[in-house]
Structures are given as structure tokens and as C-alpha cells.
């Protein structure tokens, strides 16, 4: 990490100091790092280097052996298919408060990843880094020139979005419910170059031991994470969120009440956080932001934002961009 920040024109020590991360901790692949700090470090590195696609390009060079235990597990698996299954199973043990799934849809496989903690709003760099990491597991085993069928990201399309298509040699979908590599099942029976079943067993045991101290997001942050996932689809239903959290609507309402919150409160809070996040991205039109937040038209979003902040979205964006330029 420090090397890549420096190579792209940044000061790694300044990034680590601002986030409060011990640089030595980053070099210890078996030491747990708080997810919120890690994601904030990636976002700060993008700003420090002036490289809006920092996570994208860092991920393209991030080889499995650099991933610590989870990377070693993938490399030790007997086949590529097994490596992907182990990634899906064990990645949440490697990185707290995340969901990783291997699913099949429309004849294609999807290796999905998303952060469950709704309090972590700015997380684009982490998503692009992780998709690059996952792609490099495939590239380790398959012939040169392999590319996924498509790559999906939950964040909105950035300004330099064509770089993503070039990096993955694939079409890219934006503002999705999750991040995912979409691929065909060809080549999954190919042997991994460093396959070692006995080592694989030891590594999974080690990872389970290391991950034992990792926490899970607070309940309200889990709810906000599920709300965020569904915002752009339009109408939000408490029943859908309850099902995603493996509970009943009544129980969800009761637990929210215990925290002095309601479902509509969390929708508003999530929209406000994301609105600020999107408004800082100057290339996003207000109409697109309204859609991403689940509004049918820009005027409805503008009225809601003015109610929340006492300021129009356009004016808030202007002030925010001016402040960012000064810093």
C-alpha cells in the first residue's frame, strides 16, 4: 500500500497519520485491521494521490499472495472452482462486516461482494480494489487474456469510467445492488498452480482463529446497509429488509424502537449520507442523484435535501467543492 501511494505521487505517511493506522500493521498479513479504517485509508489515498481510480489500479496489481491468509487459501485450493468457493466462504472471515457469495444467474456465475455496514458510506475504492483482487485469482490459473463477462459495482459511475472497462476488458455495470465478477463456468476444473490440500486445511484453521476477534456491524448499521442496497430500486418495504436480516417485520420494528429509531428515520438518514456523498462527485447530474436515492424526480430530492440541511443540493455542492479545493 505505502509503495503504491508513493509511486502514484502521494505521501503514505500522511495518509496513515490522518486515518490513525500504524504502517507496520499493514505489513502483517495475519493481523486484523478495522474495516472502517481500511476503507477510509483507501478513500484518503485516492485524494492524496489525486488518482480517482486508485483502488482500480491498485487492485489490478494486487496478487493473491499479497492478500494474506485468504489469498493463500485460494492458491492452495485444488482447482480454480474450489478456490472461488473458498473465497466466497472465507472472505467474510478475512474482512469483517462483509458478505461474499457465489451465485448462478441466467447461466452465468457471479462472485459477489459488498460491505454490510451501512455507516461506511464512501467505499468505492475498496470495491474496485476487491474486484481486481478477485479477478487476479482467475488470472493466476487461466490462460493469458482471460476476462470476466461483466463487472458490477454498487457505486455510481465515476468520471473516468472507461478505465474500468479497459482494466477488466469487460463491460461494467454501475449502481448495482452489490459488487460482482460475472463469469462463465469454463475452466473451473483447472488445477491451481500451488494446490496443496493439507496446507489448505491448516490455512482455514488459522483464518478461523485470527477472525475470532473480529466484530460485526451494529444493528442499525446493518439495517442501513440493506436500505442502501435497495434505494435506487424505488419503493422500500420494511418486509424486504426484515427478510434480508433473517427476522420478521414486527421484530425489526421492535428492535428499531429499542434504539429510538423508526424504519423511515433510517431511510432518511441513509439518503442524506448518500446525497452528500454523490454531491461531492461533480460529474453526477442532480437528476441521476435523485434516481440513485429512490426519488422519481429531481424536484422531490431537492425539497427533501433542503428540509434536511436548509440548503439546496446545488448550493451545497458548490460549497462542498469549494471547501475540497481549498484543502
pTM: 0.89
Look-up of cell digits 448550493: 315
* Alpha carbon 171 to its chain's center: 18
Confidence of residue 245 (pLDDT cuts 50, 70, 90): very high
pLDDT over threshold 60, residue 150: yes
249-295: pLDDT as tens digits:
999 999 999 999 999 999 999 999 999 999 999 999 999 999 999 99
CB 132 within 8 A of CB 167: yes
Alpha-carbon Rg for the chain, nearest whole angstrom, is 20
pLDDT over threshold 60, residue 246: yes
pLDDT over threshold 70, residue 204: yes
Sign for the pseudo-dihedral over CA of 193, 196, 197, 202: negative
Residue 288: half-sphere exposure toward Cβ, Cα within 13 Å:
13
DSSP letters, 169-221, are TSEEE-S-SSEEEEE-STTTTSBPTT--HHHHHHHHHHHHHHGGG-----HHH
Q: Name which of 105, 257, 75 is nearest 185 in CA terms.
A: 105
Ramachandran class of 234: left when φ > 0, alpha when ψ lies in -120 to 50, beta otherwise: left
Q: Where are the beta strands (DSSP E) in the chain?
A: 98-105, 108-115, 150-152, 171-173, 179-183
As a whole number, mean pLDDT of residues 206-219 equals 73
**CB neighbours of residue 113 within 10 Å:** 26
Q: What CATH number labels 219-326?
A: 1.10.10.60
* Alpha carbon 110 to its chain's center: 15
Q: Parse the chain into domains and list their residue ranges.
A: 2-213, 219-326
Question: Cα separation of 43 and 23, whole Å?
Answer: 16
165-200: pLDDT as tens digits:
999 999 999 999 999 999 999 999 999 999 999 999
Amino acid at each position: 500500500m505505502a509503495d503504491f501511494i508513493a509511486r502514484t505521487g502521494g505521501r503514505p505517511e500522511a495518509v496513515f497519520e490522518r486515518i490513525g493506522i500504524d504502517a507496520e500493521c499493514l505489513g502483517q498479513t495475519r493481523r486484523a485491521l478495522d474495516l472502517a479504517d481500511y476503507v477510509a485509508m483507501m478513500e484518503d489515498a485516492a485524494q492524496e494521490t489525486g488518482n480517482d481510480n486508485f483502488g482500480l489500479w491498485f487492485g489490478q496489481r494486487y496478487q493473491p499472495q499479497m492478500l494474506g491468509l485468504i489469498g493463500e487459501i485460494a492458491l492452495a485450493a485444488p482447482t480454480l472452482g474450489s478456490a472461488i468457493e473458498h473465497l466466497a466462504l472465507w472472505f467474510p472471515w478475512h474482512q469483517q462486516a462483509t458478505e461474499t457469495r457465489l451465485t448462478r444467474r441466467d447461466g452465468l456465475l457471479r462472485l459477489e461482494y459488498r460491505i454490510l455496514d451501512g455507516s461506511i458510506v464512501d467505499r468505492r475504492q475498496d470495491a474496485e480494489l476487491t474486484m481486481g483482487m478477485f479477478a487476479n485469482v482467475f488470472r493466476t490459473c487461466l490462460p493469458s487474456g482471460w476476462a470476466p463477462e461483466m463487472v458490477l459495482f454498487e457505486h455510481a459511475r465515476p468520471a473516468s469510467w472507461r478505465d474500468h472497462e479497459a482494466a477488466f476488458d469487460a463491460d461494467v455495470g454501475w449502481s448495482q445492488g452489490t459488487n460482482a465478477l460475472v463469469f462463465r463456468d469454463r475452466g473451473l476444473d483447472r488445477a491451481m498452480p500451488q494446490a496443496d490440500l493439507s496446507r489448505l486445511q491448516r490455512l482455514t484453521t488459522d483464518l478461523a482463529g485470527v477472525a475470532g476477534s473480529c466484530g460485526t456491524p451494529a444493528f442499525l448499521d446493518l439495517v442501513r446497509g440493506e436500505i442502501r442496497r435497495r434505494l435506487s430500486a424505488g419503493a422500500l418495504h420494511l418486509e424486504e429488509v426484515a427478510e434480508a436480516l433473517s427476522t420478521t417485520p414486527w421484530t425489526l420494528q421492535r428492535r428499531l424502537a429499542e434504539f429510538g429509531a423508526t424504519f423511515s428515520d433510517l431511510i432518511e438518514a441513509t439518503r442524506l449520507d448518500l446525497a452528500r456523498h454523490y454531491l461531492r462527485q461533480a460529474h453526477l447530474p442532480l437528476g441521476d442523484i435523485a434516481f440513485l436515492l429512490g426519488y422519481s424526480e429531481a424536484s422531490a430530492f431537492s425539497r427533501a435535501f433542503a428540509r434536511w440541511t436548509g440548503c439546496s443540493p446545488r448550493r451545497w455542492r458548490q460549497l462542498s467543492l469549494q471547501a475540497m479545493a481549498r484543502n
